[in-house]
Structure 1
C-alpha cells in the first residue's frame, strides 16, 4: 500500500480490526484519526503519541488505546521505493535501501510478499545471466531450488535442461524431463509447453525414446496434430545420425525420409537441403545429392554444402564442374586445407589440364604447407619443374623429401639441380642416395629438359630459402635466433629478400622480445598473399605482447586467421581487457570481457577468481559466492578460499 499522507500510511491487520470496531461503536475515532496514532507510535514520537491519545479521550470519553499500537506489525513502512528498485532488477540498490531502513528501525523487515518475490527474481536473473554466458554450472547452482515437477515458470526448467545437457548430467536431465512431461491432473503442463519440451528432448534422447513419450502424452487430437513438427525433428535427427555414422549403410525407411523431402521442397529450412544432400550422397545417388546441394548453395554460400556439391559432381565424373566449384569456393574451403588440396590437385597432376591461375597456385601451396603432405608437395614440384621453374621445383622436391622419402622425389630433386647447373649439390645428393635408390641415376643422366608449357609462377615454400643444414632457417630451427637474424640481415643488405625470410625474421625478433623489430618484419611479410596469414598471426601476438590490445584486434579484423588461431588471439585480447578493466575498477566491463572469452575457450581458475571478485565488487555477493564455491569444490586455493570467506561474510 502506498503512502499519500498521514491518513494513508500502511496499517497492520490488527490495526484495521481496531478501526472497524471503533466505527461500529459509532462512539470512537475513525480510521483517519487512528492512523495518526499508529503513525506516531511507529515513529517513536512519544510526546505526540500522548498528545494524540489525550485529544482522542477528550473527544471520545470511552476511548481505549488499542493494545497493538506498539506491535511491529502495526508499524509497516511504505515499500514503494523497494518495488521500484525490484522492477529494475537493482539488487544492490535493494540491499542498500533495506540496510538504511534497518539502521533507522532495527526491528523492521520487508514484507513476506516482497521478500519472497525478491528471492524469486534474483534466482531468475542469475539463471538467465548464467545461461547467456554459457556458464552451465552457474545455471545449475542458481536453479538448485527449482522443482521440475512443480515449477510453474517452466522456462526456468528449460534453462536447467540446457545446463544438464551441456554438462552431461544425464540422470538430472532425465529427471527434469519426467518432472515436466508427466505431471498429473491440474499440475499437467499446457499443451504448448508440452510441445516445446518434447522438441527440446529431440536434442537429448534417442528418437525411439522421444516417440514413446509422444505416444503416452498425445491424449488429445489437438496435441497429436501439434506433434507433427516434433516428428519431423526426429526424422531430421535420424537422417543426421545416419549421415554421421560410417558403419550404418542400410537406408532409413523411405516413408519417414519422404516427409523430410516434402519439407525440403517447400524450402522451410536450409538445413533440410543439406541433410538430404549428404544422405543421398552416402546412398550413392549423387544426381539427387547434386540437386539438394545446388538448392542449398542458391540460398546461402556455405563451405560444407560446397564440399557436398564437389563430391556429388566428382562421383558423376564431372571433373571440370567439380573443379569449378572448388575454385569458386577457394576462400571458403581454405579452413579445410586437406579437402581443398585434393580438390585443386587436378590442375597440377595432369599435363592435359588447363593451366592454373595465380590464386589457385597460392591456395594449393598454402594447403600443402598446412597439411605437410609429401605427395602433393611432389605434384607441385613436378608442376614447377615441367614449367622450367627449377628453383621452385628444387624447393618443393626438398620439402617433399623432408616429409617422406621416395625415389621419384630424389629423381625430381636431382633433375632440378642439373637444370640449375648445381653440380656440387647434385654430386652430394647422388652420393647420399646412390645405394638407397640405385635404379634412378642412369635415367636421370639421359633425361631431356621439359618444354615448359605452363607459365604461372610457383611460389617457394617457407623452408626453401636455405639448403642443407646451413643458413638462417637452420639457425631458426635450432633456436639460434640472433644468428638467424644476422644471416637474414646479410641477405637484406645484398638486395630484396623474400617474404618468407621476413616472416622468419619476425619470429626470431619476437622470441628475443624485440617487439618493434618483430612488428616491422611481420607487417612487411603481410604484403605477400602466401605469407599473409602467418604474418598477421605473428603481428597480432607481437601487439598483444606489447599490450596493444586494440591494435591486435584491428589486425585480425583486417587479416582473418584460421579458426584455431583466431580463437587463441581473441581469448588473449579479452583477457587483457578484463585485467585492464579490473585495474580501473570497471567491474561490469570485466564480466563482459570474461563472458566473451568464455564463449571461445574454457575459463581457467585464475580468471574465474577474477570473475568472482568482479561480482563481489558489483554487490552480487550470491554470484560471487557461487563462483568461489565452485573453485573450492575442484581444487583448494588460498585465494579462492579467501574470496569464498569474504563473499559469505555477513554485511555490516
Structure 2
C-alpha cells in the first residue's frame, strides 16, 4: 500500500501521488517494516488520557489490493498527470499502481486519451490537483445527481479524505489544538511519512506540548532514521531544539551523518547549542559551560564577521568578573556593528576598570535606547563625578550630563554634581544640586549633609539650623555640624564622610559605604545579554574604595556648572526646588502683559509648579515675544506642555510650532501630542483615528501598557477581535490585570457573535 503526500501552501493543497514501496513505507506503526521506534509512539491503544487521545494503529481507508486484474485499474490520475507534464507525480502514480496491481502494465502513451473519456471526472481530478477540495466534492455530488449509476473512483475519494485530513491537522496545529493534532494523526497514518515530513513535525510538536516528551523524541528520531533529505533532517533537529531536553537532543544528534567534506550535517546545530549554553551562563553564574563549547563559540566569534557571538562572550566573561576579557569581546562586537547592547557591555567593563570618562562617551549615544542603557549611562556619570581626587571634566561633557540628570531625575547623579560643584567652590550651585537630589529623594542623608555644608559656606545660618532640626536624632554628623572638631572646611571633605554613615567622632570616622545603582531588569531574546541588574551591581559604586582627603582644583576646573542648567529642557524646570526662583514670584495674580518676556518665562514655569496651566500658558505667550531664540523656544515648549496638561492637544500642537525646538524636545512633544490625540479620538468614538495616532506614535517610541489597552479596545470596537486578543494577550503577559480583563471582553464579544 502506498501513500499520498499533500503539502499545504497557506490554504492551497498541492498533491502528490501514492509513492512506491520504499524506506518510508506507509504502515509506520508496524515493527515489521523497520519502524519499531515510531511504532512505540503510537502502538499504545487509542486511549483517552486526561482528555487527549494517543495515536493508534489505524488504516487509511483504502482497501488493500486483492487479485485485481489490469481491467480494474483506474488510470484516470495517471493520464491526468501525464497530460499536465508532471513527471514526478506520473512516476509516483505508476509506482503506486504497480504495487497495488502486480499484473498491470503502464500504457505506452499515458498522454493519450483513454478509450472511454470522462470529461466530468477529468475536471474533478483537475480541481483536486489545484487544491480545491470542497469544489471537487461538489462536482462529485453533481455528477452523482446527474448520473445515479456513476460511482466515483475509490482512489479519488481516498485522496480527498486524506487531503482534507491534512488540512484539518495543519489548522489544528496552527491553532495550537495539540490533542486534535494527535487524534488526526492517529486516524490518518498515511500522512506520517517522509514525503510529508511537515505532518510528522506537527505531530511531534503536539506530543511535546501535551507532556509526552518521549513520544516527541521518538517522532523526531523516526524522521532521522528513515528520511534522507539533508535539509529536512537539519530542520528536524532545529524544530526539536525548543521542544526537547538537552539529554533527548543529544540522542538525536547521535544520528548525525557525515558530509563528503568530513563535516557533520548538524554542525550548525551544535554551534547554536554552544551559543545557547554560553548565553544562559551569562545570565546565571552557577551554570558551568563545557570548555569545548567555549572554544567552539570563541572560534565562531573570530571567524564569522557578525557581532552576536562576541557579544554573548562579553556578557559571559563580564558576569564572571573578568572585565578585561569581556571588554575585548564587547569591543570586537562594537567594532563590527555598533549597538545598544555592545555599547552597554563595553561601558560596564570600563566602569568596572574605573575608566568612567570612556564609559560615558561610549554609552552616551545609546542612553535613550532602553532603561538599562540609561541606567548604565547614569552609573558612568555618577562615578565620573565622584572620582577622588576629582578630575577635570570638559565643558562639552558637562553640558550633556546636566540635562540627562534632570530628565532622569537621578538623585545619585544630582548629588554627585553637588559635590563636584562644592569642590570647585561653587557653593550656590552645589546647594541647588543637593536640593534637587533631595526633591527627588527627600530622605537622602548624604545629600542633606552636602546641602548643610554648602549652606554653611554661604553663611545661611537659618537654613543650616533648619536642616539640623529636620535631621536631629537621625544624623549625628548633621546635628553636630559647627561644633568644635566636627565642622569641616569645604577644603577637606573625605569621600567616606560624603557617602558613609554619619561620623561618631573625629577619631572614629564612619566606614565607607558603597552605593550601587539598581538597574531595571528586562526580557531578552535568546543569545543576547540578560538583565543588567545582576551583572553590574558591584561595578557602579558611586565612591572609590579608599578614604582620602580632597583638595579642590581651584581655577583649573571649569565653572560651567553654574550655567549648564540652561541646557535642561524646560519641562523639567518644575522639578527644581522653589528656592531657586524669586520668592513669591507667582503667588499672586499678575497680568503677564505687564511683565518682561524673561520674567513671564520664569512665572510660566512657576505657575506650572502650582498646577495652574492655563495661567502658565498666558505667561508663556508673553515670553514668546523675547528677543532671545532660546527663551522663545522655552516659551513655545512650555505653552505646549501647559495646553497638554488641560487636554487641549490642538492648541498644544500650534504652540509647539511657534519656535524651533531641540530634537529631543520635538520628539518628546510629538510623543505627547500623539498620545493625547489617540486618547481624544477614542473618547470621541473615532476608533480608526485613534489607531492611526497610536501607529504614528509607535514609530518613534515604545507603546506604553495603558496605550496598548486603549488600542485593544479600539480594535474591539472596530470588530477586529483577533487583533484585540493579540494586544490583550501581550498586556496580560506583562502581569497587568487590564490584559486579562480585555481577553475576557474579547471572549464575551465572540460568544455574542455566535
1:467 to 572, 578, 591: 578
Higher relative contact order (CA 8 A, sep 6+): 2
CA–CA separation in structure 2 for the residues paired with 1:639 and 1:492: 48
Cross-structure match for 1:177: 217
CA–CA separation in structure 2 for the residues paired with 1:387 and 1:160: 75
Cross-structure match for 2:559: 454
**SS of the residue 2:329 aligns to:** helix
CA–CA separation in structure 2 for the residues paired with 1:213 and 1:520: 65
CA–CA separation in structure 2 for the residues paired with 1:101 and 1:390: 95
Is the CA contact (8 Å cut-off) linking 1:243 and 1:278 kept in structure 2? yes
2:673 to 518, 523, 539: 539
Whether 1:343 aligns to 2:416 is no
Superposition deviation, residue 342 in structure 1: 0.7
**Larger deviation: 145-154 or 239-248?**
145-154
Cross-structure match for 1:6: none
Superposition deviation, residue 281 in structure 1: 3.2
Is the CA contact (8 Å cut-off) linking 2:434 and 2:450 kept in structure 1? no
CA–CA separation in structure 2 for the residues paired with 1:333 and 1:430: 40
CA–CA separation in structure 1 for the residues paired with 2:201 and 2:128: 27
Cross-structure match for 1:485: 613
2:248 to 209, 214, 222: 209
Spell out, residue by residue over 1:200-242, the C-alpha distance to the aligned partner (whole angstroms, 9 max, x if none).
3333444343223433x35888899323333333322222222
Superposition deviation, residue 180 in structure 1: 2.7
Number of corresponding residues = 520
CA–CA separation in structure 2 for the residues paired with 1:233 and 1:382: 49
Is the CA contact (8 Å cut-off) linking 1:290 and 1:312 kept in structure 2? yes
Spell out, residue by residue over 1:368-423, the C-alpha distance to the aligned partner (whole angstroms, 9 max, x if none).
754x6432231133445658494685266234354152444224445666899988
Whether 1:289 aligns to 2:394 is no
Spell out, residue by residue over 1:333-363, the C-alpha distance to the aligned partner (whole angstroms, 9 max, x if none).
6653221211233443347434355577556
In the TM superposition, 1:382-461 aligns within 5 A as: 382-383=419-420, 386=424, 388=426, 390=428, 394=432, 397-414=435-452, 429=467, 431-433=469-471, 436=474, 437-440=478-481, 453-455=558-560, 457-458=564-565, 459=567, 461=572
Cross-structure match for 1:265: 302
CA–CA separation in structure 2 for the residues paired with 1:422 and 1:413: 11
CA–CA separation in structure 2 for the residues paired with 1:178 and 1:86: 33
Cross-structure match for 2:661: 527
Is the CA contact (8 Å cut-off) linking 2:347 and 2:362 kept in structure 1? yes
Cross-structure match for 2:108: none
Superposition deviation, residue 193 in structure 1: 3.1
Cross-structure match for 2:198: 155
Superposition deviation, residue 425 in structure 1: 6.6
Spell out, residue by residue over 1:293-319, the C-alpha distance to the aligned partner (whole angstroms, 9 max, x if none).
222222212222222223334445555
Spell out, residue by residue over 1:30-57, the C-alpha distance to the aligned partner (whole angstroms, 9 max, x if none).
xxxxxxxxxxxxxxxxxxxxxxxxxxxx
Spell out, residue by residue over 1:79-115, the C-alpha distance to the aligned partner (whole angstroms, 9 max, x if none).
748956984x778x95997799699879899962574
CA–CA separation in structure 2 for the residues paired with 1:535 and 1:267: 43
Whether 1:228 aligns to 2:281 is no
Is the CA contact (8 Å cut-off) linking 2:623 and 2:635 kept in structure 1? no
**SS of the residue 1:145 aligns to:** helix
CA–CA separation in structure 1 for the residues paired with 2:374 and 2:468: 34
- Structure 2 gaps, min length 5: 1-67, 73-116, 492-551, 588-603, 625-630, 682-688
Cross-structure match for 2:393: 355
Spell out, residue by residue over 1:577-629, the C-alpha distance to the aligned partner (whole angstroms, 9 max, x if none).
6754x4xxxxxxx489669858965699999999xxxxxxxxxxxxxxxxxxx
Answer 1 or 2: which has greater helix percent.
1
Whether 1:641 aligns to 2:641 is no
Cross-structure match for 1:133: none
Cross-structure match for 1:63: none
CA–CA separation in structure 1 for the residues paired with 2:659 and 2:213: 52
CA–CA separation in structure 1 for the residues paired with 2:724 and 2:393: 50
Superposition deviation, residue 542 in structure 1: 0.6
Is the CA contact (8 Å cut-off) linking 2:675 and 2:693 kept in structure 1? no
CA–CA separation in structure 2 for the residues paired with 1:77 and 1:86: 14
Residues 285 and 422 of structure 1, relative CA distance in 2, 3 Å threshold: closer
Superposition deviation, residue 199 in structure 1: 3.0
In the TM superposition, 1:99-248 aligns within 5 A as: 112=157, 115-116=160-161, 119-120=164-165, 122-123=167-168, 126=171, 130=174, 137=176, 145-146=184-185, 151-152=192-193, 153-158=196-201, 169=209, 171-172=211-212, 175-182=215-222, 192-215=231-254, 217-218=255-256, 225-248=264-287
TM-score (norm. length: structure 2): 0.54
Is the CA contact (8 Å cut-off) linking 1:540 and 1:569 kept in structure 2? no
Cross-structure match for 1:326: 363
CA RMSD of aligned residues (A): 5.6
Residues 288 and 499 of structure 1, relative CA distance in 2, 3 Å threshold: same
CA–CA separation in structure 1 for the residues paired with 2:672 and 2:381: 28
Is the CA contact (8 Å cut-off) linking 1:334 and 1:363 kept in structure 2? no
CA–CA separation in structure 1 for the residues paired with 2:405 and 2:183: 50
CA–CA separation in structure 2 for the residues paired with 1:192 and 1:318: 49
CA–CA separation in structure 1 for the residues paired with 2:206 and 2:160: 27
TM-score (norm. length: structure 1): 0.61
